Structure 1
Amino acid sequence: MKTSSVFQRHIAEVRRVKLDTVSPIHSAGPVLEMGKWEKNDPFLIMMEDKFRRGAFDVHPHRGLETVTFVIDGSIEHYDSQSGDGGVLGPGDVQWMTAGSGVMHNEQPSEGVTAHSLQLWVNLPRDQKMSAPRYQNLKSADMPVREEHGALIRVFSGSSHEVVSQTLNHIPVTMVEAIMEPGSTVTQDLPGSYNGFIYIIQGSGVFGSSKTPAHQGQMMWLGRGRDGEASEIEITAEEPLRFVLYAGEPVREPVVAHGPFVMNTETEIVEAFRDLRQGTFLKHS
């Protein structure tokens, strides 16, 4: 229920996500657009992808984390650290800290079309070259908060009294909500957090502004007040499923090129040099 002493967030923006054809086996669209560093902070980009095996090849990352949420299908993950990252099914998440550098690939199982969301989370300067880390977050193992007509699965951070054990380099809340028509829930957030919601299924009314939104739309949360608690209220109009991401802004310069996200152009040049010279993974 809404608490009067807590700042109520509104919806600042609603945008439809459109998937375009990349290849015969891959369609994709930006949920968060690359380059809007200050607006997105601490997030960098999020892509929605529908793809089959062969759409991606092994590739490097440095200076960021990737958070992959499987909406449908199954994804097999390979990485240079373990050699076998396992298989993610519907509702599962992989939280990969690239840190100083990884080589990895994500491919749907043979004959499967996977539907996923992948978010890039920025790492602060003092964590850019941290040791790579993988956390496979199985939907069935995540803590849940249950309200009348609603289930909130906590992949990172917390939802009221329910707290996730997922490790973060910067504070990030990620929850998935599944709601019945007519149900209402609130999600609490520190006032300093920047965040957004993406609707996977259904429709509802969001925030103090009572903003309507539906499947395939993303919404930016209005800013909270630093140092104060805040929350966002959601009411489902039909069976509703959404994911909410919010985190503490890093507030540092961002220089991104391809799969690398650092603070300076010099660090980007060093990353490509390491890759060419075969020393990329030796920093791990």
Structure 2
Amino acid sequence: METPILNRKLVKVQAPRANQGFLGPDHIARAVIQNDFSNSDPFIILMDDFLDKKDNEPVGGPHPHAGFETVSLLIEGEVGDSAHTMKSGDFQMMTAGSGIVHTETIEGESKMRLLQMWLNLPKKDRWITPRVQDLPFSNVPKVYENGVEIRVYSGTLGGVTSPVKNHTPVVIADMILQPGAKTTQKLPATFNAFLYVIEGSLGVGDAGALSDGQIGWFDRLDEEGESTFSLSGGSSGGRAILYAGQPQNDPIVSYGPFIADKDEEIRNLYRDYRSGKIGHVSDLPEEQRFRY
């Protein structure tokens, strides 16, 4: 007997608060996902950072990561250093794995909005060799149909597939709907999935709705198969980022910039970082760097 196709419904709607960020009074940070990994697996953290910098003092700098992947989508502005710069609409997936240092620096006056996800790695890939994948906006696969635009940064949606390689199966897409426009899309039924609305409002299914700043979690099945979800543009249209990924179902330990399976591994990572054993992303060999 075939598994019935699940029509996804919203089961939880949240409105995360915006707080002053660590970069100073011009930085507003919203923790979209934090401290609920048993329910958000494979998504560990999602931060929505706004910066409206009005001086020339550099902010940010180098810092380490290990044991997971950083998934960055730049909604507006520019971020990076002379070795690597992201611009509006660009995407980067950095597999920290066994350990990497990267630099996120903003110099001079700047207006920026960055979504950065910490994505869990499968346990077998926790300490894999680091790699970095860059997908500039000009090369992002896109679909335009009946007032709906879908930009696919990872995985497959709307009949197009991103070139980005995944350790953890994950779909990431920017979905923009004109007022009244409708779309129905497919996702694997076992994927944990949510929408984060960054402009306007969207109808979700027959009875749900989300507005700017809200996150909506879908229900899911434990059995393999397909599922669908339906969206419609609100009175002024709407834009949401879809994140959907395969849960790994393994507990993790999180401390500072590191993810691990045991506390001892966290201590070892700090020791390695302080002793200079964790290299910088700009020093990765070409075979560990991908630009699409």
Q: CA deviation at 1:100?
A: 1.0
Q: CA deviation at 1:109?
A: 4.8
Q: Deviations over 1:29-86 (max 9, x none)?
A: 11001x21111100100011113464422110001111111111111157xxxxx2x2
Given the two structures, how large is their TM-score scaled by the length of structure 2? 0.88
| Letter paired with 1:21 | Q
| Letter paired with 1:218 | I
Q: Deviations over 1:217-273 (max 9, x none)?
A: 111111234212001100111221111001001111100100000111111111111
Helix, strand or coil at the partner of 2:61: coil
Q: CA deviation at 1:25?
A: 3.2
Given the two structures, how large is their TM-score scaled by the length of structure 1? 0.90
Gaps of 5+ in 2: 285-292
Q: Deviations over 1:152-197 (max 9, x none)?
A: 1111111142111111111000011111111111221101100111
Equivalent residue runs for 1:48-67 within 5 Å = 48-51=48-51, 52=53, 54-67=58-71
Identity %: 34
Count of aligned positions: 271
Looking at structure 1, the residues matched to 17 and 58 of structure 2 have their Cα atoms a distance apart, in angstroms, of 22
Equivalent residue runs for 1:243-262 within 5 Å = 243-262=241-260
Looking at structure 1, the residues matched to 262 and 156 of structure 2 have their Cα atoms a distance apart, in angstroms, of 33
- Which region of structure 1 is more displaced relative to structure 2, 14-23 or 115-124? 14-23
Helix, strand or coil at the partner of 1:113: strand
1:253/1:264 contact within 8 Å kept: no
Equivalent residue runs for 1:1-284 within 5 Å = 6-22=5-21, 23-33=24-34, 35-51=35-51, 52=53, 54-77=58-81, 84=83, 86-208=84-206, 210-237=207-234, 238-281=236-279
Structure 1 residue ranges (4+ consecutive) displaced by more than 6 angstroms after TM superposition:
none
Helix, strand or coil at the partner of 2:271: helix
2:200/2:211 contact within 8 Å kept: yes
2:91/2:135 contact within 8 Å kept: yes
2:89/2:136 contact within 8 Å kept: yes
| Letter paired with 1:75 | V
Q: Deviations over 1:77-129 (max 9, x none)?
A: 57xxxxx2x22122211111111111112123531121111110011222111
Q: In 2 relative to 1, CA 211–113 (structure 1 residues): closer, same or farther, beyond 3 Å?
A: same
Helix, strand or coil at the partner of 1:249: coil
Gaps of 5+ in 1: 79-83
Looking at structure 2, the residues matched to 25 and 201 of structure 1 have their Cα atoms a distance apart, in angstroms, of 21
Paired residue for 1:81?
A: none
1:32/1:45 contact within 8 Å kept: yes
Q: CA deviation at 1:15?
A: 1.1
Looking at structure 1, the residues matched to 171 and 125 of structure 2 have their Cα atoms a distance apart, in angstroms, of 19
Helix, strand or coil at the partner of 1:105: strand
